[in-house]
Homo-oligomer: A and B are copies of this chain.
Amino acid sequence: MLRPDNGQRNELANALRALAMDAVQQANSGHPGAPMGMAEMAVALWTRHLRHNPADPQWWDRDRFVLSNGHASMLLYALLHLTGYDLPIEQLQRFRQRGSLTPGHPEVDHTPGVETTTGPLGQGLTNAVGMALAEKLLADEFNRPGHTVVDHRTWVFLGDGCLMEGISQEAISLAGVWKLAKLTALYDDNGISIDGAVPSWFADDTAGRFAACGWNVVGPVDGHDVAALDEALREARASSDRPTLVICRTTIGKGSPARAGTAKSHGEPLGKEEIAATRAALGWPAAPFEVPADIAAAWNARAAGADAQGAWRAGWEAYRSAFPAEAAELERRMSGQLPRDFEGDLQGWIAEAQLKADTVASRKASQKSIARLAPALPELLGGSADLTGSNLTDWPGCGAVRGGESGGRHINYGVREFGMAAIMNGIALHGGFIPFGGTFMTFSDYSRNAIRMAALMNRRVIHVLTHDSIGLGEDGPTHQPVEHAASLRLIPNLDVWRPCDEAETLVAWGSAVTQPRRPSALLLSRQNLPAQTRTPEQTAAIWRGGYVLSDRPQPRAAILATGSEVGLAMAAQALLDARGLPVRVVSMPSTSVFDRQERAWRDAVLPRDLPSVAVEAGVSKLWASYGCTAVLGIDRYGESAPGPELMKAFGFTPEHLAELVAGEVGSEPQIERSSN
- Whether B482 pairs with A492 at a CB distance below 8 angstroms is yes
Q: Any chain B CB within 8 A of the CB of A209?
A: yes
Is the C-beta of A502 less than 8 angstroms from some C-beta in chain B? no
A414 at the interface (CB under 8 A from B): yes
In the assembled complex, how far is the CB of residue A666 from the closest CB belonging to chain B, in whole angstroms? 15
Q: Give the residues in chain B near A389, CB-CB below 8 Å.
A: 194-195
Contacts of A120 in B (CB 8 A): 442-443, 445-446, 478
Q: Which residues of B contact A194 (CB under 8 A)?
A: 386-390
B161 touches A105 (CB 8 A): no
A536 on the B face (CB < 8 A): no
A214 contacts across to B, CB distance below 8 A: 203-204
A58: chain B residues within 8 A (beta carbon): none
State the number of copies, please: 2
- Whether A471 is near chain B, meaning CB under 8 Å from some CB there, is no
Query: A98-B646, A173-B204 known; 11 other A-B pairs, CB under 8 Å?
Result: A96-B640, A98-B641, A103-B477, A105-B479, A119-B479, A164-B170, A195-B414, A203-B213, A483-B491, A620-B625, A625-B625
A381 to chain B, nearest CB (A): 15
A104 at the interface (CB under 8 A from B): yes
The residue of chain B having its C-beta at the shortest distance from the C-beta of A645 within the complex is: B98
In the assembled complex, the CB of A629 is this many whole angstroms from the nearest CB of chain B, namely 10
Q: Smallest distance from the beta carbon of A166 to chain B beta carbons, Å?
A: 3
CB < 8 Å: which of B200, B206, B448, B625 contacts A404?
A: B200
**Is A637 an interface residue, CB under 8 A from the partner?**
yes
Encoded as 1 (CB less than 8 Å from any B CB) or 0, chain A from 395 to 417 comes to 00000101111000000111110
A168 located at the interface, meaning its Cβ lies under 8 Å from any Cβ of chain B in the complex: yes
User: CB < 8 Å: which of B100, B205, B386, B636 contacts A201?
Assistant: B386
Q: How far is the CA of A213 from the CA of B206 in the complex (A)?
A: 8
Q: What are 25 A-B interface contacts by the 8 Å CB criterion?
A: A104-B475, A104-B476, A105-B640, A107-B476, A164-B415, A165-B170, A166-B166, A166-B167, A166-B418, A173-B204, A194-B386, A200-B400, A200-B402, A201-B403, A203-B213, A206-B212, A208-B212, A442-B449, A446-B449, A456-B478, A483-B491, A487-B490, A492-B619, A493-B636, A620-B625
User: Would B160 and A415 count as touching, CB distance under 8 A?
Assistant: yes
For A384, A400, A639, the residue with the greatest tally of chain B CB atoms inside 10 Å of its CB is A639
* A97 sits at the interface (CB 8 A): yes
- For chain A residues 120-143, which have a beta carbon within 8 Å of chain B? 120-122
A640 adjacent to B104 (CB under 8 Å): yes
A-B residue pairs, 3 tightest by C-beta: A166-B166, A103-B640, A208-B212
Nearest-Cβ distance from residue A670 to partner chain B, whole angstroms: 26
* Contact status A492-B625, CB under 8 Å: no
- Cross-chain contact A486 with B490 (CB below 8 angstroms): yes
Alpha-carbon distance between A474 and B107 when the two chains are bound, in angstroms:
13
Task: Give complex CA distance A276, B36 in Å.
Answer: 69
Q: Check if A169 is an interface residue, CB within 8 A of chain B.
A: yes
User: A390 to chain B: which residues have CB within 8 Å?
Assistant: 194
Interface hits, A78-112 → B, CB 8 Å:
96-100, 103-105, 107
Decide yes or no whether A177 CB sits under 8 A from chain B: yes
CB of A119 within 8 A of CB of B412, answer no
Chain A 441-464 per-residue mask, 1 if CB under 8 angstroms from chain B, else 0: 011011011001100100000000
- The chain B residue with its CB closest to the CB of A385 is B164
Which residues in B have their C-beta under 8 angstroms from that of A314?
A: none
Q: Does A432 contact B (CB under 8 A)?
A: no
In the assembled complex, which residues on chain B have CB atoms less than 8 Å from the CB atom of A384?
195
Min CB–CB distance A138 → chain B (angstroms) = 21
Q: Indicate if the CB atoms of A641 and B97 lie closer than 8 Å.
A: yes
Q: Does A176 contact B (CB under 8 A)?
A: yes
A590 at the interface (CB under 8 A from B): no
Q: Known contacts A211-B208, A478-B456: does B491 contact A164 (CB below 8 Å)?
A: no
A523 to chain B, nearest CB (A): 15
Q: Is the CB of A478 within 8 A of B118?
A: yes
Whether B619 pairs with A622 at a CB distance below 8 angstroms is no
Question: Which among A207, A384, A405, A412 has the highest number of chain B CB atoms within 10 Å?
Answer: A412
Confirm or deny: A306 has a beta carbon within 8 angstroms of a beta carbon on chain B.
no
User: Beta-carbon contacts of A139-181 to B below 8 Å, as 1s and 0s?
Assistant: 0000000000000000000001110111111100110110000
- A477 surroundings in chain B (CB, below 8 A): 103, 107, 456
A453 to B174, CA, bound (A): 27
CB distance from A189 to the nearest CB of B (A): 15
